[in-house]
């Protein structure tokens, strides 16, 4: 069982729940961003690029056709106006995607600045000396030495030593982190800087394939693949485009028969206004923005599929240690045996823990100081004392001083120590030990041997401390329809107690890598999407199997390679935020699709009456907006169709706000807000544009 690292605040890293500001700068509708993205938008007019979006490709073709027709009659202001706004519609669509991509490219530029051509101190093959080589000459398996002030030349794992490392080049945070050998905080990234001490790093990647190189490629979004849902939506949009294309093509014969033949410019305007151009223009921007929102929270998604899968997750696997609990067991109370005071037990427990440098041992010292006012003594004050350090064999620690021996450790070990010295183990000590174990805690017995013989003073109750607010977060997930499962290596009794306190739906105790894999496969066999976090090598198989595998940046290289997301802050609880971002992406796409399709109703009432009102005056009754003239009505619809794309760019980039609720409630809210809004907004917008056009001399 891997131990997922706790939130990094104790080491000066990012605290839990930290959400870094958008480092790209600029608002969601920054005019400067629009200007900077304009050249990219113009380059995207290449038909080979546009054909990937069938809806906007039709608009491009319509723009070309109307341009050719307008050239035949240079004095036709209406034809030129329609042509200009069709081209603007196409450019605005490309601009929305270019702005979204630009935010990622700005992040990539920041990362490039962090890359330097470093010189590495590589250990010789015999390990007796060092040689200086360019960082580009390093190969997988090479051992390099890094000391204070050195830049780590490549990605790797610490195999010797411990050091403080500045990872601001990656995370954007200046607070240092601790990297050490032999644990889940062994991974280091090329381009980061060692601030103190000395470490030996084993290189795990080739030059040009480092983590920071992959980050640059990922955040640029240039190779972003479309997700299955996005492909399905594209097929729907393409189908609607074909339907409306056939409708417009067959409309002309009917118009000729009715004596109201339409120009090709008007038919092109009708087609562009009826096909779902709004969502077609914003679809790519929505997907890119979803990945960008993860980058803003220091999470890198290896593909758009991973972000979308997060939105459909129905089962969440969370490691207990570091995710649900604080990561280390903490002393919560001193329970004395019969005839012993709490103060006496606390004093002995503190004394026996002075040589115990584990987090549990330190928590005992702190509890005795805070709860009983015992001053923390230091080993230097007990110069004549013989300190007994904790070992895996003895499972005890303690001190011998002034003829008194004090021991603290596992129940079995301390009990055996007392009996070896002829002492008696009271029944209440065994009862207290059993009661704490059944409650999910860890009992540590404290015993002494002095002039009164060997005896047990009582029990220190260690417990996993559930993080504040976890029960509320799990309740939110339950409302989202997500089942939470806690994974732990603890025994079933301890696991059950923690699970009940935290409020998770289920738990897997004494979990092995094989158990995790089996659980994920069972959930997936039932048609569910599974997300999990991990940081250890033994988490790698499960991370690879999960639909959303979030690896911690502090974890091993194997874990980062296996996952399809990497959390640069190494905050396991961020998985909950990732799920919310995924859902926000899906909701945004659905909301803007609803808005786009609802738009067509108003455009229909604007254009159709204008097309046939001259030949059939009775159709003028359908001109419910009271538009000024047939030409201004058609032009107003085309202008609104273009402007609404730019107006919705901020919403596409920011995303529709997500609230944990049922699918039915979400659907009703989207229909009420975006369906009704998409129906009403064009009536108002087209009427206002018509009023402006009617005031232009020579046009109105």
Q: How confident is the model over 467-473, as a mean pLDDT? A: 82
Q: Which residue among 13, 292, 319, 347 is the active-site one? A: 319
Q: What does pLDDT average to over the chain?
A: 79
| Residue pLDDT, tens place only, 61-93 | 999 999 999 898 888 888 899 999 999 999 988
Question: Can you give the pLDDT at residue 610?
Answer: 74
Contact 297, 23 (CB under 8 A): no
541-575 pLDDT, tens per residue? 888 888 888 888 767 777 777 888 888 777 777 88
Which pLDDT score is estimated for 5? 29
Dihedral sign, Cα of residue 550, residue 552, residue 555, residue 556? positive
- Taking only the tens place, the pLDDT of each residue in 133-147 is 887 778 888 899 998
Q: State residue 3's pLDDT score.
A: 30
347 an active-site residue?
A: no
394 vs 238: CA distance, rounded Å: 71
Own/partner long-range contacts of 398-405 (Cβ < 8 Å, ≥24 apart): 398/352, 398/355, 399/351, 399/352, 399/354, 399/355, 401/351, 403/450, 403/451, 404/448, 404/449, 404/450, 405/448, 405/449, 405/450
Per the model's pLDDT, the better-predicted residue between 610 and 18 turns out to be 610
Question: Residue-wise over 597-634: b if at least 16 C-beta within 10 A, else e?
Answer: bbbbebbbbbbbbbbbbeeeeebeeebebebbebbbbb
Mean pLDDT of all residues in 99-124: 66
- Residues annotated within a binding site for Mg(2+): 535, 539
At 78 the three-state DSSP class reads helix
Radius of gyration in angstroms for the set of CA atoms belonging to the chain, rounded to a whole number? 34
Q: Residue positions in the annotated binding site?
A: 356, 360, 390-397, 408, 535, 539
Task: List the binding residues for ATP.
Answer: 356, 360, 390-397, 408
Q: For a pLDDT cut of 70, what percent of the chain falls above it?
A: 82
Give pLDDT, residue 469. 80
Return all residues near 269 (Cβ < 8 A) that are at least 6 apart.
Answer: 62, 66, 82, 86, 607, 634, 635, 637, 638
pLDDT digits (tens, 9 = 90+) for 434-464: 888 777 677 889 999 888 888 888 898 888 7
Q: What is the DSSP letter of 661?
A: -
């Amino acid at each position: 069982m891997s131990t997922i690292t706790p939130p990094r605040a104790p080491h000066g890293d990012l605290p839990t729940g930290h959400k870094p500001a958008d480092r790209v700068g600029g608002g969601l509708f920054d005019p400067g961003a629009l200007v900077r993205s304009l050249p990219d938008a113009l380059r995207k007019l290449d038909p080979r690029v546009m054909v990937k979006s069938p809806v906007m490709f039709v608009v491009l073709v319509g723009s070309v056709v109307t341009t050719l027709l307008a050239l035949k009659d240079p004095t036709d202001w209406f034809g030129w106006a329609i042509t200009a706004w069709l081209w603007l519609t196409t450019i605005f669509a490309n601009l929305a995607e270019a702005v979204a991509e630009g935010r990622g490219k700005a992040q990539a530029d920041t990362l490039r600045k962090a890359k330097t051509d470093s010189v590495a101190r590589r250990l010789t093959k015999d390990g007796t000396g060092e040689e200086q080589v360019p960082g580009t000459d390093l190969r997988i398996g090479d051992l390099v030495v890094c000391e204070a002030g050195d830049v780590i030349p490549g990605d790797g794992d610490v195999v010797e030593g411990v050091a403080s490392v500045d990872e601001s080049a990656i995370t954007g945070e200046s607070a240092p982190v601790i990297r050490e050998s032999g644990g889940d905080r062994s991974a280091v990234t090329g381009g980061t800087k060692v601030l103190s001490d000395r470490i030996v790093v084993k290189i795990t990647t080739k030059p040009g394939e480092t983590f920071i190189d992959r980050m640059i490629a990922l955040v640029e979004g240039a190779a972003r693949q479309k997700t299955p849902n996005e492909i399905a939506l594209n097929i729907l949009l393409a189908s609607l485009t074909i339907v409306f294309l056939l409708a417009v093509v067959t409309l002309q014969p009917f118009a000729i028969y009715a004596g109201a033949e339409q120009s090709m410019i008007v038919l092109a305007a009708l087609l562009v206004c009826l096909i779902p151009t709004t969502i077609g223009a914003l679809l790519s921007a929505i997907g890119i923005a979803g990945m960008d929102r993860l980058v803003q929270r220091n999470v890198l998604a290896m593909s758009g599929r991973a972000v979308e899968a997060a939105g459909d997750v129905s089962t969440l696997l969370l490691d207990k240690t570091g995710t649900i609990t604080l990561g280390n067991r903490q002393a919560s109370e001193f329970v004395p045996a019969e005839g012993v005071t709490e103060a006496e037990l606390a004093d002995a427990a503190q004394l026996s823990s002075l040589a115990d440098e584990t987090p549990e041992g330190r928590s005992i010292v702190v509890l005795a100081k805070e709860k009983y006012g015992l001053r923390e003594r230091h080993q230097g004050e007990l110069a004549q004392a013989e300190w007994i350090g904790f070992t895996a064999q003895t499972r005890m620690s303690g001190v011998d001083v002034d003829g008194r021996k004090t021991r603290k450790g596992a129940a079995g070990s301390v009990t055996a120590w007392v009996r070896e010295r002829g002492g008696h183990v009271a029944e209440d000590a065994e009862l207290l030990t059993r009661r704490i174990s059944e409650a999910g805690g860890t009992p540590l017995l404290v015993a002494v041997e002095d002039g009164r013989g060997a005896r047990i003073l009582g029990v220190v109750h260690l417990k996993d401390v559930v993080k504040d607010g976890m029960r509320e977060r799990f309740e939110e997930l339950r409302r989202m329809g997500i089942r939470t499962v806690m994974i732990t290596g603890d025994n079933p009794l301890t696991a059950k107690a923690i699970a009940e306190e935290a409020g998770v739906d289920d738990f897997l105790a004494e979990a092995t890598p094989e158990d995790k894999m089996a659980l994920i496969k069972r959930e997936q066999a039932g048609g569910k999407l599974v997300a999990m976090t991990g940081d250890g090598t033994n988490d790698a198989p499960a991370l690879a199997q999960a639909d959303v595998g979030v690896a911690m940046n502090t974890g091993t290289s194997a874990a980062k390679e296996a996952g399809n997301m990497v959390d640069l802050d190494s905050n396991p609880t961020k998985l909950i935020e990732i799920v919310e971002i995924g859902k926000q992406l899906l909701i945004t796409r659905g909301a803007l699709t609803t808005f786009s399709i609802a738009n067509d109703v108003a455009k229909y009432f604007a254009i159709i009456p204008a097309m046939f009102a001259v030949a059939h005056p009775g159709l003028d009754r359908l001109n419910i907006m009271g538009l000024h003239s047939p030409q201004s009505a058609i032009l107003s619809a085309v202008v609104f169709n273009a402007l609404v794309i730019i107006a919705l760019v901020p919403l596409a980039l920011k995303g529709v706000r997500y609230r944990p609720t049922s699918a039915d409630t979400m659907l009703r809210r989207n229909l009420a807000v975006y369906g009704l809004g998409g129906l009403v907004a064009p009536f108002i917008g087209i009427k206002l544009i018509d009023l402006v056009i009617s005031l232009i001399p020579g046009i109105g």
